[in-house]
Structure 1
Amino acid sequence: MTLENLVLFAGALVVLFLTPGPGIAAMIARTLDTGPWHAGMYGVGILTGDIFWFTLAVTGLSALAETLGPFWLAAKIIGASYLGWLAFKAFWSAWTGARPKPVFPTGSKRGWAATYVAGVAMPLSNPKPIVFYLTLLPAFVPLEMITPVSYAAMVAIMIVLAVPAAALYIISAHRARNWLERPSVRRGADIVTGLVMVTISLVLLTR
């Protein structure tokens, strides 16, 4: 594994992490719904799913994915159901004018776990990371040359690049959240958030 390969890998990841997609949209909506920390946990879940696909490609087990159809279907259902529930809460808030109660008590272990699991389910059923890690990645990096040391280095690169990329979207959304808390604009924001969640859940189920 050469330095050039690692640089190409890092450049490809920057494009992957910064390009808007279902994961980023859901993370932004999560920020508006429950704040930056839960959105950050959602992002950790997404990164976990990305590392899973990367590991699958590196270990040569990508062909195994084709035999695990029920597993991916379950991941889609979990992710879409959770996003659908968040959409319902957003629409309910727009209709009643009152902020909905969280599914789990704020800061509870169950709440953190549910957010993390939903984040993991996103890349497991999202075509973008699947195509990138299983199809495009070999064009940038010779997978047969990846050793345990280079694998660890590449995972570290993924983490180092994912954190600021997620923070960029989360912080921007959080700053806008204070403005969106005004009653005059909150209802419209809830409707937009709900529509985004519904759209993403449908994308997960139909692709």
Structure 2
Amino acid sequence: MLRILGAAYLAFLGATALWHSRRPAGPGPAGQTTTPAGRAAAFRTGLGTNLLNPKAGVFYMSLIPQFVPSGAPMFSTTLLFTAIDVIELAAWYWLLSRAVSTLGTRVQRPAFRRRLEQLTGVAFLGFATVLLANRS
């Protein structure tokens, strides 16, 4: 049941992306142009998504304790390893955001965004198909 619901959700995301790619470029409703949210809004959205995602907590609780040396305090060592990983991730995402910001004008072009929506839609529909075809 979970596999079928997951495939249905992926198909919905794919169809939605393909539908949005059909919208003409240019002004939005009532002549307004659509502008992306500011950096603070994007940060809040990303932070909320990550804090509400249980996979990160499960990852840290299941993987990191394996690397704690025997005899070392479990809580503080796990906390230290988690902090190191968070610092590495912050550095990586900072570098990635710098690289992406240099491509900002190209990514904001309507034709590029439309193609990206189309590619995303086809990919999600493909994932849904694979998920439904997998019988294991």
TM-score by length of 2: 0.50
**Relative contact order: is structure 1 or structure 2 higher (C-alpha 8 Å, sep ≥ 6)?**
2
